[in-house]
Structure 1
């Protein structure tokens, strides 16, 4: 990372930085703020260039012809695809997150949230990430997909292994973890095929009946869809629940406002997650030589679009830490933008609204625990890996 004495960015030059240095990992959000003020682009030893500014990130999101999403070594349906293939898969996937489908899911989501919040002890420090956030994300995702409760613990352990392998850039471990997850899904698909007309009517079974251009989806395509839904949901929902709870715990007046006016929750949630993003980045690759903020990017160069920086750009949001409910929601890149905007955004918004509603209506107060220090998560995650919370009923 550049040092404090470095001069402001000169057009045509990219800074160099180490996004996994101890200084950056100690406080990723602050590091991104510093880098964004100095340069639009910074290259690293990991083979990609980080893009910090809102305008540049939004440009890349909207120009899918110049900035391709086909960056994964493994099939990634649909987020690792470009049109026309991406368009066909989104036609299949988007109805799974329709308003009608979300209305079906909400009672299950609320039941799970209520059960989890009800078991949190009164006036006693609780490890929020493991006991509440991660459990909520796992149970809702399995309910949405029709997966059995017996998968909760294997998926919890799998998530941890996946994070360790990704952080270590251990290709062998990453491949083994991916193969393990695919095995869970293939077993579930095999059970549904064997059950025939007796298979449960859930999202996983429905995918087996989908067609594209007159053909059935392949098993690899279905596995990739379910992998992307699950991996993305488990990480971001648990991170988001932790971030939201920590923010409310440290902003007591906002707690009271939202208890009295729960209709403000959707906008408040999006604003809190703009201030402290649950997602660090998304990847693209340049399909031609291009210029970003005066920095030349060569065809084939890989880019990291840093949501966690773009959503705090003072050129768009002023003071990035100022909480405001009157911001233009179109500027918030929490769920992306353009043709690759997150298809699961309606489910994520539903989950976060419901668990915050249940938490606020079940408590008189939410505070940070005094006995244990909160620990921030580190790349590729965001939020907290440990979060002590005390509630008062």
Structure 2
């Protein structure tokens, strides 16, 4: 394999050029230099990932306060119960879609439980995820704006109910956010919507895609699956295993930056206003950093893994995503004796990562084999 190379200009860009940054070292350099590379890239308010400098510093502690170790420990039993229920509902010895049947239902229910949202929203959110994916793939700004407005309306109604209830509002994360302050003032409605959008609109889909990548990877790599099964009660080892599988096939494709002052990266001169795409998936497979990017080395690669980003804008919700993925994988492993590959995987269309379809068969009898059932693994298709 060859080096991914220095930043390359997108040939289809208009106006200020867009550069795709793919090398691990260059992606890290950009992500860690918030002075030269601004995160204020959207026309919509994005808290905290679209803020820079002092503004980012004001909101970041508030956001991080919802992802503390104590909060995650308290949430874990509820998430485990959801994961166990979803896994129990899946058939054994028949194909199961890791994203549609496992990842999405778990991610939506987990998010609703965490935020205190009603179970009745599950279908609404699943429908919205489907429409949002389609709008994202279309690259039609009118379409994506309409889908975003639908989601904002859902959030606005949830927060309105809590504001109207006053002291009778439920004691959940969403109520707590409506009562939060920054610099001694209450959050504005637009700020609350932005934070909740960040926590849900992207994270539900991302967790679902991650579940698909991890479970299918284990099915495709029986040796790794056996190793993970032996160490599944070691929390740290299991979390490093998940991170490494996601490094190898990273569904978090890219983030944007805009050049704030003339600079250079990877030997390429950049002007103020130039746009960048930080290609996390490519950086996480850079042979200059990882050698063979397909080699499964969770301990060795952990310090350089960029699944959750790096620098001042590193994902503040990493602890929640890690908890969700660990719990759902533990429940899958505890409920099965083996996970087998079946059929072909179908990749998501750019700009999404991960799988649109990644079927597996969940086994509870070690004597049952994929070959005996007449089902065999297939190569990826597009």
C-alpha contact 1:123 1:392 (8 A) present in aligned 2: yes
- CA shift digits 1:312-352 (9 cap, x unpaired): 11111111100012225331111111110101000000011
C-alpha contact 2:20 2:277 (8 A) present in aligned 1: yes
Structure 1: segments with no counterpart, 5+ residues: 1-32
Once residues 95 and 334 of structure 1 are traced to their aligned partners in structure 2, the CA distance between those partners, rounded to angstroms, is: 21
> SS at 2:360's partner residue?
strand
Superposed displacement of residue 39, structure 1 = 3.8
Superposed displacement of residue 390, structure 1 = 0.5
- CA shift digits 1:174-205 (9 cap, x unpaired): 11111111100111011111211111111100
> What is the Cα-based RMSD across aligned positions, in Å?
1.3
- Matching residue of 1:304: 277
- Matching residue of 1:344: 317
Once residues 138 and 155 of structure 2 are traced to their aligned partners in structure 1, the CA distance between those partners, rounded to angstroms, is: 25
Alignment of 1:226 with 2:187, yes or no, is no
C-alpha contact 1:42 1:51 (8 A) present in aligned 2: no
- CA shift digits 1:203-258 (9 cap, x unpaired): 10001111111211000000000001102211210110000011000111222222
Alignment of 1:83 with 2:53, yes or no, is yes
C-alpha contact 1:77 1:228 (8 A) present in aligned 2: yes
- CA shift digits 1:66-117 (9 cap, x unpaired): 0000001101111000010111111111010000000111011100110111
> SS at 1:149's partner residue?
coil
- Matching residue of 1:186: 156
Superposed displacement of residue 49, structure 1 = 1.3
> SS at 1:247's partner residue?
helix
> SS at 1:326's partner residue?
helix
Alignment of 1:60-79 (within 5 A): 60-79=30-49
Equivalent residue for 2:64, pick from 94, 97, 108: 94
- Matching residue of 2:346: 375
Superposed displacement of residue 38, structure 1 = 4.2
Alignment of 1:35-74 (within 5 A): 36-47=3-14, 48-74=18-44
- CA shift digits 1:294-317 (9 cap, x unpaired): 211111011000000111111111
- CA shift digits 1:340-393 (9 cap, x unpaired): 0101000000011111111111101101224xx321112121111112111111
User: Mean alpha-carbon deviation: is it higher for 125-134 or for 103-112?
Assistant: 125-134
Once residues 36 and 4 of structure 2 are traced to their aligned partners in structure 1, the CA distance between those partners, rounded to angstroms, is: 25
- Matching residue of 1:21: none
Once residues 309 and 99 of structure 2 are traced to their aligned partners in structure 1, the CA distance between those partners, rounded to angstroms, is: 25
- Matching residue of 1:244: 214
Normalised by the length of structure 2, the TM-score is 0.91
Equivalent residue for 1:271, pick from 244, 248, 271: 244
Equivalent residue for 1:294, pick from 246, 249, 267: 267
C-alpha contact 1:255 1:360 (8 A) present in aligned 2: no
- Matching residue of 1:9: none
> SS at 2:340's partner residue?
strand
- Matching residue of 2:291: 318
Once residues 322 and 334 of structure 1 are traced to their aligned partners in structure 2, the CA distance between those partners, rounded to angstroms, is: 16
Structure 2: segments with no counterpart, 5+ residues: 365-382
Normalised by the length of structure 1, the TM-score is 0.89
> SS at 2:19's partner residue?
strand
Q: Structure 1 stretches (4+) deviating beyond 3 angstroms? A: 36-40
| Count of residue pairs the alignment pairs up | 358
C-alpha contact 1:235 1:381 (8 A) present in aligned 2: no
Once residues 5 and 351 of structure 2 are traced to their aligned partners in structure 1, the CA distance between those partners, rounded to angstroms, is: 23
Alignment of 1:334 with 2:307, yes or no, is yes
